[in-house]
């Protein structure tokens, strides 16, 4: 998908395989080892889809048959930035595809009462303004945390069109708000949920991603 009003939003193909993976991680009976395993499979698909949208340049190589192959190679350098804590779960999926990729961290926590994000810490690669940035966070609920993290990146000189926000589940209102704030950022997601509950959790959602991946 990438059509108006969702220009720059790429929803993973809603295949039965993908639906099966989401069925497992959304099931409250799924225990942590399976939650991690199947989330990691979705994360890998998101990373691969993000890589599909990086710009390339023509590259011709000679094969062992002494013939030329008209190929492409990636232009530019990338880095990852995870929104701590839950976003850190997506770092390994990025590393599995991009060997020794640089990874920055932004610590943003939602206030449990108000659901408003608070920025505590950022540590980003020095040359981040020269890079394509894969921003990592599995959950987009109100959109507040992702917006705050994207503002940090832009303040550090990253161009919005070089940011790829990778996300497992987003709410309709969250994606609308984020997309309105940053129409040039590319959003790669696997699921679009119908809304938020009174605690600003995604519905149907899956509960607290960070708790399920790391703690419970
Ligand atoms: C979660 C999630 C996002 C944010 C989404 O993090 O990982 O960062 O909430 O909500 P929003 O779109 O309404 O801002 P949380 O602050 O709960 O911290 P955690 O990563 O430690 O679970
Ligand atoms: N954070 C989560 O982990 N889950 C939600 O549904 C919303 C924010
Ligand atoms: Mg949380």
- Distance, in Å, from the CA atom of 48 to the CA atom of 55, rounded to the nearest integer, reads 14
> Considering just the CA atoms, what is the radius of gyration of the chain in Å?
18
Q: Do the beta carbons of residue 90 and residue 105 sit within 8 Å?
A: no
Write down the catalytic residue from 41, 102, 110, 156.
110
- Distance, in Å, from the CA atom of 79 to the CA atom of 102, rounded to the nearest integer, reads 5
79-128 pLDDT, tens per residue? Answer: 999 999 999 999 999 999 999 999 999 999 999 899 999 999 999 999 99
Residue 201 beta carbon below 6 angstroms from any ligand 2 atom: yes
Which residues have CB less than 5 Å away from ligand 3 (the ion)?
Answer: 208, 210
Residue 206 beta carbon below 6 angstroms from any ligand 2 atom: no
Residue 210 beta carbon below 6 angstroms from any ligand 2 atom: yes
Residue 214 beta carbon below 6 angstroms from any ligand 2 atom: no
- Distance, in Å, from the CA atom of 109 to the CA atom of 120, rounded to the nearest integer, reads 8
2-32 pLDDT, tens per residue? Answer: 545 578 999 999 999 999 999 999 999 999 9
Instruction: Name 23's Cβ contacts closer than 8 Å, sequence gap at least 6.
Output: none
Residue 53 resides in a domain: yes
138-187 pLDDT, tens per residue? Answer: 999 999 999 999 999 999 999 999 999 999 999 999 999 999 999 999 99
Residue 3 resides in a domain: no
Residue 107 resides in a domain: yes
Residue 132 beta carbon below 6 angstroms from any ligand 2 atom: no
Residue 88 resides in a domain: yes
The closest alpha carbon to 188, from 84, 64, 93, 68, belongs to: 93
- Quick one: what percent of the chain has pLDDT higher than 90? 94
User: How many Cβ atoms are within 10 Å of 34's Cβ, its own excluded?
Assistant: 13
Residue 184 resides in a domain: yes
- Distance, in Å, from the CA atom of 25 to the CA atom of 39, rounded to the nearest integer, reads 7
Q: What is the pLDDT of residue 29?
A: 98
Active site residue 211: yes
CATH code, domain carrying 119: 3.40.50.2020
- Residue 108's domain spans which residues? 9-214
- 179 CA to centre of ligand 3 in angstroms: 22
Residue 30 resides in a domain: yes
Residue 2 resides in a domain: no
Three-state secondary structure string covering the chain? CCCCCCCCEEECCCCHHHHHHHHHHHCCCCCHHHHHHHHHHHHHHHHHHHHHCCCEEEEEEECCCCCEEEEEEECCEEEEEEEECHHHHHHHHHHHHCCCCEEEEEEEEECCCCCCEEEEEEECCCCHHHEEEEEECCEECCCHHHHHHHHHHHHCCCCHHHEEEEECEEEHHHHHHHHHHCCCCEEEECCEECEECCCCCEECCCCCHHHHHHCC
Entry pTM = 0.96
Site to probe by mutation for ligand 1, drawn from 86, 112, 143, 200 as the one with most ligand atoms within 8 Å of Cβ, is 86
Q: What is the ipTM of this complex?
A: 0.97
Least confident residue range of 6-10, 43-47, 172-176, 208-212: 6-10
Give me the number of domains the chain comprises: 1
Q: What is the pLDDT of residue 1?
A: 54
Q: Place 76 in a pLDDT band, splitting at 50, 70 and 90.
A: confident
- The average confidence (pLDDT) of the chain is 96
Q: Which CA distances in Å does 81 have to 30, 70, 94?
A: 28, 33, 10
Residue 4 resides in a domain: no
């Amino acid at each position: 998908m990438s059509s108006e009003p969702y220009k720059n939003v790429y929803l993973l193909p809603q295949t039965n395989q993908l639906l099966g993976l989401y069925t497992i991680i959304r099931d409250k009976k799924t225990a942590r080892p399976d939650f991690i395993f199947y989330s990691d499979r979705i994360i890998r698909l998101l990373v691969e889809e993000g890589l599909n949208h990086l710009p390339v340049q023509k590259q011709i190589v000679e094969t062992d048959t002494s013939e030329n192959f008209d190929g492409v190679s990636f232009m530019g350098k990338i880095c990852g930035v995870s929104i701590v804590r839950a976003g850190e779960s997506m770092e390994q999926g990025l590393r599995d595809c991009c060997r020794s990729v640089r990874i920055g961290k932004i610590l943003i926590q939602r206030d449990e009462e108000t659901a408003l994000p608070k920025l505590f810490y950022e540590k980003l690669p020095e040359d981040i303004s020269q890079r394509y940035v894969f921003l990592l966070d599995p959950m987009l609920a109100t959109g507040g945390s992702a917006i705050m993290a994207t503002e940090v990146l832009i303040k550090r000189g990253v161009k919005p069109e070089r940011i790829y926000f990778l996300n497992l589940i987003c709410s309709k209102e969250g994606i609308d708000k984020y997309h309105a704030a940053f129409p040039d950022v590319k959003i790669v997601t696997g699921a679009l949920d119908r809304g938020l509950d009174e605690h600003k959790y995604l519905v149907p959602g899956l509960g607290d991603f960070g708790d399920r991946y790391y703690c419970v």
